[in-house]
Chains A and B, each alone.
Chain A
Amino acid sequence: MGWDRNQMAARAAQELQDGWYVNLGIGIPTLVANYIPEGIEVTLQSENGMLGMGPFPFEGEEDADLINAGKQTITELPKTAYFDSAQSFAMIRGGKIAMAILGAMEVAENGDLANWMIPGKLVKGMGGAMDLVAGVQRVVVVMDHTSKHGESKVLKQCTLPLTGKGVVNRIVTNLGVLDVVPGGLRIVECADGVTEDEIRAATEATIVA
């Protein structure tokens, strides 16, 4: 029931519009690049200093000087431009990036996002996520609806330290698509074979009609 990782990425790719500059986070969001719809041209930004990110290299063509924000080897395109980290975050902070698609540990009905640490357990850091959610025009989160233990990750209030407050616009999960609206979340779409009632049952956050 519902969408797998690739189907979630494919659904998130439907959010892209022609001409947009977009930043894709690590994990499922990286897969979105494989599903950019026909006829839509987007330019991918990598916050370590690149616009126009190309696919992974063929074996033997890896270049240590050419990586994405997940530190993976990548390639350039004819339209590629490189720049330093201050310039990279100036374009993020300046609102030039149309959309960021990011992973999440928790998201709340007021648009709060938590995706950078679990106190006492996981201390990796926020990387560029706090800058992205504060600066880009639209934030789409791609995540599993519930934890391995079946607990909802779509909450009334986040329990983990926040990445940003009131920053999420749309949530794509394995169960469907929800928008952050005044008063709570609105169901936009159900995943294949999933009903609205099943989404409600898996969601702690307030669902509004």
Chain B
Amino acid sequence: MKKVYDSASAALDGLLFDGMLIAAGGFGLCGIPELLIQAIRDAGTRDLTIASNNAGVDGFGLGVLLETRQVKKMISSYVGENAEFMRQYLSGELELEFNPQGTLAERMRAGGAGIPGFYTKTGVGTVIAEGKEHKEFDGETYILERGIVADLSIVKAWKADPSGNLVFRKTARNFNPPAATCGKVCVVEVEEIVPLGSLEPDSIHLPGIYVHRLIQGQHEKRIEQRTVRKRA
């Protein structure tokens, strides 16, 4: 079965529907599936729920789907960099479910691994714990969190081979592997598709079993906080 597609819109063809749940990789603007996000904007799919650590910035990343009002709800841990997000949220146009960052990552990992729920200490005694099952193990209180299974995962990796084996680069790995595993279908964009056999099997970060469709493209890779030091 051929996994490699010609464009982001071709790779998403037949997968998008209104009201769907999408899991997206990335941390801030680092390692985000920028081409697939633009293709979803072009497709005009509406009422999306998106599980993603952040919500992009105005005009880039998931911010472009907020501008077009395609997002109904975000499941995120931190949304502080996006003025349009804040405006829509405070005016009640956008739903927001805050998840602690580690809980969100583990919800994706668990969902992808067939684990419907797990107990964690994170959030005990806070608003996050409200309405959730509490359970004591060895004298400590934990809360039950659910695994996430998304209709679609959108992921950015550095390199792939045609069978979908993925290699990430530096901190651009972040949420991409857990997001990839939790989707019923996973579409991945990479900077380079390399020939079969050219990735070292011991060095593959995510095996191709999790990857259904693949595209290669040019990435802007915008830097959110350019911070430098002076040369001595």
Contacts and interface: CB of A to CB of B under 8 A. Distances in A.
Whether chain B is bound by chain A comes out as yes
A67 B78 contact: no
Given A89-B106, A123-B86, A126-B101, A49 B173 contact: yes
Contacts of B81: 71
Interface residues of B, number: 59
A135 to B, nearest CB: 7
Given A125-B76, A164-B125, A65 B31 contact: yes
Most chain B Cβ neighbours within 10 Å, of A49, A58, A129, A164? A49
A49 B170 CA distance: 8
A38 interface: no
A130 B100 CA distance: 6
Interface stretch (B11-19, B62-70, B209-217, B221-229): B221-229
18 contacts: A48-B28, A56-B227, A57-B228, A64-B221, A66-B171, A67-B28, A67-B171, A67-B223, A67-B225, A84-B175, A84-B176, A90-B106, A123-B86, A127-B77, A129-B100, A134-B124, A135-B102, A161-B126
B126 A130 contact: yes
A55 B106 contact: no
B1 interface: no
Interface in A61-93: 61-68, 70-74, 76, 82-86, 88-90, 92-93
A10 to B, nearest CB: 18
Give chain A's interface secondary structure class.
loop
A76 B169 CA distance: 12
A59 interface: yes
The size bracket of the interface on A is 35 or more
Contacts of A129: 100
B45 interface: no
Contacts of A63: 170
Sort A-B residue pairs by CB-CB distance and give the 5 closest, nearest first: A89-B102, A165-B125, A131-B102, A124-B80, A125-B78
A163 B76 CA distance: 16
A55 B98 CA distance: 31
B113 to A, nearest CB: 10
Given A65-B171, A162-B126, A73 B226 contact: yes
Interface in A163-191: 163-166
B121 interface: yes
